[in-house]
Structure 1
Amino acid sequence: MSARDDILANIRRSLGVTGRETIRTQIVEERIERAPKGLIPARGQVSGEERLAMFKAQAEAALATVTEVSSPADVPRSIASYLRDHNLPATLRMGADLRLKAMPWGETSLDMSHGPSAGGDLNAVSHAFGGVAETGSLVMISGPENPSTLNFLPDNHIIVVAEKDITGDYEAVWSKVRFAFGKSSMPRTVNWITGPSRSGDIEQTMLLGAHGPRRLHIVVVRE
């Protein structure tokens, strides 16, 4: 038992409860549901093509590049073209994400490697949990499917996101995370990525790649 569990157990004993009483649980859930919601910017309250257009505009304003494909099967060729057009090596590291693994990488000449990055990879691909239109951000869930090292160590990070997973605002994404994982199994880390890494600390001069990838390329799957 952890110190936290020990403290909570002592509180429950002093109150004469176990923490599993149905009525008490319902009262708490209703109180949380009635609590006033935070202010959500109106900018992201759009849908359909307008939402996708806003996501692209905000991502590009943050110095990311965006490409659209019509199905997951088109992703490997699109990524191979991106690497070739930017004169980058035809190498790519990815985690164990089943959506990525199901794509036809064998139809390209890419040299694929798998697992977390140790810092020597130039290019990596990840699959986002979702995106946010109001800021052009991507939401990354940690785990062997999409190791967090791929978010920060390679010079060039390519992120695949399904159009259906792009929401208007942050609050909507957090609701999806809670629904997908549940209260007792939330991911250890949720990273929010908006554009490539940058810093203006030195003489207020913008430097890309200061703390992570120099390039961020987004592939939106419109299936």
Structure 2
Amino acid sequence: MSRDQILAKVRAAISDATPQLQRRAAAEARVAKPSRSAPPLQRVSRPTQELIEVFKYELGRQSANVIEAQGSIPQSIAAYLQEAALPPTLRCGSDSRLTRLQWRDAPTLALQHGPAAAQDGIGLSHAFCGIAETGTLALLSGPENPVTLCFLPDTHIVVVRRSDIVASYEDAYVRLRHLLGERRMPRTLNLISGPSRTADIGGKIVIGAHGPRRLCVVIDNTN
């Protein structure tokens, strides 16, 4: 049986079961008022401080470094790079939440702007939100936070506001719809849960095979 014949049978079965106008109305209603596909997990349905602790714990389980910045974020980043013996040159996009930070507080840092190139060792991004249930960062693509920053540099530093850490993936999607409304969605939504790793070859975990070897998450506690 050819592909066209198979698809014709599927269309016939669907049209027999539900009239096309009814199916269209149902689809439009769901788009107009999206529903949660699942309730939040009990372990992440918690007060904010406990939610932050779950987020940090899950990130730590996945070999990420976590810094809670009580004051200057640039100083926190500079201290992390110095402790890790990493160069003080960072590449970031045009996100105003990063560019308006007081970088003069950390004079040793050199900040460069634009998409990452192969020679860039450290990328700096700002997350749209953090997801506590799996210790995941959600990053939106665009000139504010170029996707290349997530994958090319050996070290990826991501700033996330404490107030932007949510319990579940469903909460993140609700926030995204609320933020953008009817506007065009970003080209990609990257979900990052630790340094890049793979066990494709010989079943052995290899860090940094498809992206950064190190992930440092800076929780901005100033808001």
Same fold (TM over 0.5): yes
Q: 1:33 to 1:157 in 2, by over 3 A?
A: same
The equivalent of 1:193 in structure 2 is 192
Unaligned runs of at least 5 residues, structure 1: 1-14
Q: Are 2:74 and 1:76 equivalent residues in the alignment?
A: yes
1:33-44 alignment runs, 5 A limit: 33=33, 37-44=37-44
Q: Which residue of 1 aligns with 2:104?
A: 106
Deviation at 1:32, TM superposition (A): 6.4
Separation of aligned partners in 2, 1:181 and 1:214: 32
Q: Does residue 1:46 correspond to 2:57, yes or no?
A: no
Distance (whole Å) between structure 2 residues aligned to residue 178 and residue 198 of structure 1: 30
Task: For residue 134 of structure 1, give the secondary structure of its aligned residue in structure 2.
Answer: helix
8 Å contact from structure 2 (residues 37, 170) kept in 1:
no
Report the AA paired with residue 52 of structure 2: L
Shift of 1:142: 0.4
Which residue number in structure 1 is paired with residue 152 of structure 2? 153
Q: 1:136 to 1:35 in 2, by over 3 A?
A: closer
Aligned CA RMSD, in angstroms, stands at 2.4
Task: Please tell me the residue identity of whatever aligns with 2:173.
Answer: W
In the alignment, what sits opposite 1:7?
Answer: none
Q: How many residues align?
A: 200
The match for 1:8 is: none
| Corresponding position: 1:90 with 2:83 | no
Distance apart, 1:36 and its partner CA: 7.3
Give the secondary-structure state (helix, strand or coil) at the position aligned to 2:133: coil
Structure 1 counterpart of 2:143, one-letter code: P
Counterpart code for 2:65: T
Question: What secondary structure is seen at the aligned counterpart in 2 of 1:175?
Answer: helix
For residues 30-52 of structure 1, give each alpha carbon's deviation from its aligned partner in whole angstroms, at most 9, with x where no partner exists. Answer: 79649674354322211211000
Query: Could you tell me whether the CA contact under 8 Å between 2:129 and 2:165 is conserved in 1?
Result: yes
Cα distance in 2 between the residues matched to 1:104 and 1:35? 41
Return structure 1 stretches of 4+ with deviation > 4 angstroms: 30-36
Report the counterpart of residue 65 of structure 1 in structure 2. 65
1:10 corresponds in structure 2 to none
Q: Distance in 2 between matches of 1:93 and 1:36?
A: 37
- Partner of 1:132 in structure 2? 131
**Alpha carbons 1:133, 1:169 under 8 Å: kept:** yes
The question of whether the paired residues in 2 share the 8 Å contact of 1:181 and 1:187 is answered with no
After superposition, the C-alpha distances for 1:128-147 in whole angstroms (9 at most, x for unaligned) are 00000010000000000000
What TM-score, normalized by structure 1, do the two folds share? 0.83
Offset from partner CA, 1:100-131 (integer Å, 9 cap, x none): 00101122211111000122110111000000
CA deviation vs aligned residue, 1:54-89 (integer Å, no higher than 9, x gap): 000000001101000124xx1100001111101111
The one-letter code sitting in structure 1 at the alignment partner of 2:44 is G
Structure 1 stretch displaced more, 103-112 or 160-169: 103-112
Change (3 A) 1:48 1:204: same
Aligned partner of 1:6 in structure 2 is none
| Counterpart-to-counterpart distance in 2, 1:202 and 1:34 | 41
In structure 2, relative to structure 1, the CA distance for the partners of 1:41 and 1:122 (3 Å cut) is same
Which blocks of at least 5 consecutive residues in structure 2 are unaligned? 1-19
Q: Secondary structure at the match of 1:92?
A: strand
Any residues of structure 2 matched to 1:162-201 within 5 Å, and which?
162-201=161-200
Contact 1:55 1:134 (C-alpha < 8 Å) held by counterparts: yes
Q: 1:33 to 1:117 in 2, by over 3 A?
A: closer
* Structure 2 CA distance for aligned equivalents of residues 205 and 175 of structure 1: 37
